[in-house]
Structure 1
């Protein structure tokens, strides 16, 4: 399944946001939030204050539920997010950054609201495409990170927190030890 670029980016940033809450948490300061926003290119109004950070952190926990719920639960949460934040889809373009894509909330809305709506709109595409199985939890035994598997063959097993490399090294060492 090929998703539109804005859907792919929203899914990747949503998984990254959820993973900032996996121990050790990596989103706890205003500086961390600035880095996150810059990394994922969120546009629009910013407050740059503790309330904005608190809103994003509260949303992080709510979005994590998308990896835990069945299809009906995901649809319920997505519909709740869209209604609560008064989504109003519009096609927009940001010169030099994005081509045509979908915004569903005003650029003056609080950052957490914009992230919530962008995430919900991306999940609409996932649900409508029957692709919920692309939302997974990292297979590393000591990790609770989440994955959005956008690979063609649906083979992604580990999150972006270094688990794939760590598990490969562990398997290599296990093979070397076994051979004596």
Structure 2
């Protein structure tokens, strides 16, 4: 599946952010428990705009993470309502921008808007593309029963089931043991 480059980047960021949750992270810990950890995540995904780097911003991003984890798994029509609400609450007005390292892409909030609001709006715009293309089935939760990691299936046939090679190997090993 091919989405616009900015949509794909935002969806991959959403998976990375959502999977920092203690219930989904590979370490079993909250992986954005500190401002330094949040900063590292944002830098790894070339996030631009205002960063306050304070506890209030961190708490707001953690709340946004929980919201995005919920929206990711909603049925299409329910996701539409949530996406529209997030865009409306932010007064989002899409416009094209270009900055390093990205070519032309959509933003819908000013760079000075609060970080959590910018995240919610950018993810909403990406999910709009997914909904419009009829591909919400590509936004899933890992099929491993003991994992709540989110995953984005960009495979050609949409058959990806696990959030990581680690989960896939573990489930294959369990299936093998059950067969023998």
TM-score > 0.5 by shorter chain: yes
- For residue 141 of structure 2, the aligned residue among 129, 137, 149 is 137
- For 2:128 and 2:49, locate their aligned partners in 1 and report how far apart those are by CA, in whole Å: 22
TM-score, with length taken from structure 1? 0.90
SS for the counterpart of 2:105 is: strand
The structural deviation recorded for 1:171 is 4.5
The structural deviation recorded for 1:160 is 3.6
Deviations 1:83-141 (A, max 9, x none): 1111111111113x011111111111111111111000000001111111111110112
- For 1:147 and 1:161, locate their aligned partners in 2 and report how far apart those are by CA, in whole Å: 12
Residue 111 (structure 1) aligns with: 115
SS for the counterpart of 1:102 is: strand
Kept after mapping to 2: 8 A contact 1:56/1:112:
yes
Residue 32 (structure 1) aligns with: 37
Residue 16 (structure 1) aligns with: 16
Segments of 5+ residues of structure 2 without an aligned counterpart are: none
The structural deviation recorded for 1:35 is 1.2
Residues 1:98 and 1:91: Cα distance change in structure 2 (over 3 Å): same
SS for the counterpart of 2:96 is: strand
Segments of 5+ residues of structure 1 without an aligned counterpart are: none
Kept after mapping to 2: 8 A contact 1:85/1:117:
yes
Kept after mapping to 2: 8 A contact 1:22/1:145:
no
Number of residue pairs matched? 175
Residue 52 (structure 1) aligns with: 57
- For 2:89 and 2:165, locate their aligned partners in 1 and report how far apart those are by CA, in whole Å: 32
Residues 1:161 and 1:108: Cα distance change in structure 2 (over 3 Å): farther
1:84 aligns with 2:82: no
CA RMSD of aligned residues (A): 1.7
